[in-house]
Chains A and B, each alone.
Chain A
């Protein structure tokens, strides 16, 4: 339990910093910005109560918003992603998962984990970009940006998770 809280706090701080200091400035081909901080929501232990997941997602969105001058946008998108996380896990893996487990390649299988990541990332990005486009609507460009950003975020999150496998083998969770 303590271990989960520590990893969670670590993930929160590290991924928020990576996001606001580095990735917010990336804008590949002027269309795609990766949002890696979703990794925090994705990696919360499966048994975390849904109220907690929703609240933590809200919190990380609020922090990202404060840094990137977009009040409410990331907050709204993250809260939605946090709320649909449990139904998504149930949809992909059913109920028979061990209590203390954390979503990972080993638990979900590589394909299963990637599908789970794509689903959360897609829901988050759709919400985020639609809110952003409330001020300025440009449908084709919007779809292009959403698709490119979903691809980039998923790729980055899967790479980070792949690096995590080594840590798990050596005994650390």
Chain B
């Protein structure tokens, strides 16, 4: 008995080692799920704070680029405004009585943007995550879609009070329902872990027509993203078959290496869609 105790005390570092490894693997196992631990992620207050300090330094370094992008964006929007004004004037000139355009109040566009800043970002790893500086207090919740000026980024994986973590397109755990803008065939986008500029579109039916450079947009089937948001362009003519489906290489529209400002999409009708989808599944 004493020998056994002696042995246990002498080898206690190995027992501690085993114990701590078990803890780590529990963490790995539990966090491989889609929902993640808030305390141990960059969405907690301390890591978020340090990240946002580093982010503010970095944002000063990027101001020039940011400015350029913003003024370009401003330009396109102004052009659009001018076009619309022009159209309204044409209509006014056309009709004898133009009482102004009143949108149908029952037809509300169910999406709204919340803008946020990237606090920390990774594009280099296999399981990439992006931390942003808005949380539940700014009504950002889990499963909301996130986009940038360029295109789709991902969905909110964890939301804390002031920070949240986004699971981007370049995370192999994330799948996004997409369609080809030109031909409307839809497939599922999933990243293969190698290159942050490219992803793959799977499960495209074999009779689908496509050519290099075709635009890939969100399908809008998921209630997370509205339909028609830019995702990327088909990067090559070469396709791989598996079973009866194509998989295509897509060049992503978003450059994940230079993310700075993002927008979170709030969908007012999301609870409704989810509840009716659940109801439909119940009958299976």
Chain A contacts to B: CB under 8 angstroms: 17, 20-21, 24-27, 30, 33, 49-51, 53-55, 58, 61-62, 65-73, 75-76, 79-80, 82-83, 86, 131-136, 138, 141
Contacts and interface: CB of A to CB of B under 8 A. Distances in A.
A76 B26 CA distance: 10
Interface string B230-247: 000000000000000000
Contacts of A65: 27, 40
Interface in B1-55: 12-14, 16-17, 20-21, 23-32, 36-37, 39-42, 44, 47, 50-51, 54
A79 B54 contact: no
A17 B248 CA distance: 40
Nearest to A33: B124
Contact of A66 (B40, B123, B193): B40
B125 A71 contact: no
Contact of B122 (A24, A132, A136): A24
Contact of A135 (B51, B172, B195): B172
A71 B122 contact: no
A19 to B, nearest CB: 12
A70 B31 CA distance: 8
Residue of B42, B123, B195 with most partner-chain A CB within 10 A: B42
Contacts of B121: 25
A71 B126 contact: no
B21 A79 contact: yes
Interface of A is mostly: helix
B57 to A, nearest CB: 9
B192 interface: yes
Nearest to A26: B124
A36 B29 CA distance: 26
5 contacts: A27-B124, A66-B41, A71-B28, A71-B31, A76-B24
Contacts of A73: 24, 28
Interface of B: 12-14, 16-17, 20-21, 23-32, 36-37, 39-42, 44, 47, 50-51, 54, 120-127, 129, 131, 165, 172-173, 192-196
B125 to A, nearest CB: 7
A89 B42 CA distance: 35
Contact of B16 (A55, A61, A71): A55
A66 B47 contact: yes
A71 B124 contact: no
Contacts of A76: 21, 24-25, 28
A70 B13 contact: no
Contacts of B173: 135
A133 B194 CA distance: 12
B111 to A, nearest CB: 27
